[in-house]
């Protein structure tokens, strides 16, 4: 959905905010959280529009791509300064993934069908493979990075590669409808693919066996915890489905309204979903019960992220604000105005990083004070 940026009406106080807009301090019942003013980096190569953001779990580096130049830029996470530029694609970088430890990252370019694996510390390509006849429509790797999965726009296959050698491990056949998204847990014990018609396929990479499951509506979002205990999918018809990935059977089918995004902590104890009407919900995946529902916000959620330990939920909104929530109570811990509609958030151990409208924002993580 394309929407025009909306601004906060003059004089309207930001919920949970009691200080100037560029640095907001908010208090929760049990502690106070401080968000520092963001460092804004107008990043070279992003002026035509920032597309994607990638960072390893430890925050040792971050990488950004633009829309047109076919490169990815690795940056110092503290300053946003480029440390190396990864060229190699004729058109814009359409997908990128890497393991949690940041040992390598993989990129693919729109229309070229190739995948290049890089050493992000040096900017050196380790190998390039011709992955699919046309463009690569999705890529994914487990957190520990034992394999890299790619799927093509038209060839109806998913290929698992060894990222250290570039050699194929498995080629998995795909039903007639192409794959539009893939997810896998941290251990890589299974791989789930969503198809353009809304169908779901779950593969077990060790054996190559697959289980197919039907769905009545195209997917809008996929999410899962690192431990892989469950899989969630949102659909155009407003359904939210919680799946048992071992059997590809639905454990809960819920009517929620159009799901625009979802995130979960590593232990899978909760699931956060945002919706086109601005509603934000926290779910218990084991029971399918919504434990918290925040009614439709006039400033729609544009991106979500969760901290590595699962104690903070970050959201960005159409009014140019970033908010940090306690997912257990859904109280606002902090809010910060950046004045830009953000398209992607990332939370590492050290910082919240965001991109939007050609700018890169670096915000030190809140410090807790008893």
What six digits make up the tokens of 88?
Answer: 């190699």
Q: Is the pLDDT of residue 20 over 70?
A: no
Q: Is the pLDDT of residue 56 over 80?
A: yes
Mean pLDDT of 182-209: 88
Mean pLDDT of 165-192: 86
Which stretches does DSSP call E strand in 29-156?
32-34, 39-41, 52-54, 62-65, 72-75, 82-86, 93-97, 105-109, 114-119, 124-130, 136-140, 148-152
> Residue 98: its pLDDT value, please?
92
Q: Is the pLDDT of residue 158 over 60?
A: yes
What six digits make up the tokens of 6?
Answer: 């909306």
Q: Is the pLDDT of residue 325 over 70?
A: yes
Cβ atoms within 10 Å of 154's Cβ, excluding its own: 12
**What are the residue ranges spanned by the domains of the chain?**
1-82+306-370
């Amino acid at each position: 959905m394309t929407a025009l940026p909306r601004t906060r009406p003059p004089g309207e106080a930001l919920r949970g905010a009691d200080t100037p807009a560029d640095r907001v301090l908010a208090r929760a019942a049990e502690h106070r959280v401080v968000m520092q003013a963001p460092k804004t980096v107008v990043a070279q190569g992003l002026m035509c529009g920032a597309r994607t953001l990638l960072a390893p779990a430890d925050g040792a580096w971050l990488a950004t791509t633009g829309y047109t130049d076919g490169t990815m830029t690795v940056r110092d996470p503290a300053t946003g300064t480029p440390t190396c530029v990864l060229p190699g694609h004729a058109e814009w970088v359409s997908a990128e993934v890497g393991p949690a430890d940041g040992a390598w990252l993989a990129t693919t370019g729109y229309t070229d069908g190739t995948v290049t694996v890089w050493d992000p510390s040096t900017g050196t390509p380790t190998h390039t493979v011709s992955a699919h006849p046309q463009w690569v429509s999705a890529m994914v790797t487990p957190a520990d990075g034992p394999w890299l999965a790619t799927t093509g726009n038209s060839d109806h296959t998913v290929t698992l590669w060894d990222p250290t050698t570039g050699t194929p491990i498995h080629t998995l056949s795909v039903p007639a409808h192409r794959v539009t998204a893939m997810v896998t847990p941290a251990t890589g014990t299974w791989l789930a693919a969503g198809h353009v018609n809304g169908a779901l396929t779950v593969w077990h990479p060790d054996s190559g066996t697959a289980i197919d499951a039907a769905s009545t509506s195209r997917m809008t979002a996929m999410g899962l915890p690192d431990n892989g205990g469950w899989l969630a999918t949102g659909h155009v018809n407003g359904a939210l489905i919680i799946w048992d990935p071992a059997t590809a059977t639905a454990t809960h089918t819920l009517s929620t309204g159009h799901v625009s995004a979802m995130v979960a902590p590593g232990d899978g104890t909760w699931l956060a979903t945002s919706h086109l009407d601005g509603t934000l919900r926290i779910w218990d995946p084991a029971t399918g019960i919504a434990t918290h529902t925040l009614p439709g916000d006039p400033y729609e959620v544009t991106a979500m992220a969760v901290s590595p330990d699962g104690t903070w939920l970050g959201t960005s909104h159409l009014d140019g604000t970033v908010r940090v929530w306690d997912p257990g109570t859904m109280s606002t811990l902090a809010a910060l105005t950046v004045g830009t509609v953000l398209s992607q958030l990332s939370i590492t151990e050290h910082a919240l990083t965001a991109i939007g409208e050609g700018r890169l924002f670096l915000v030190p993580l809140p410090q807790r004070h008893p």
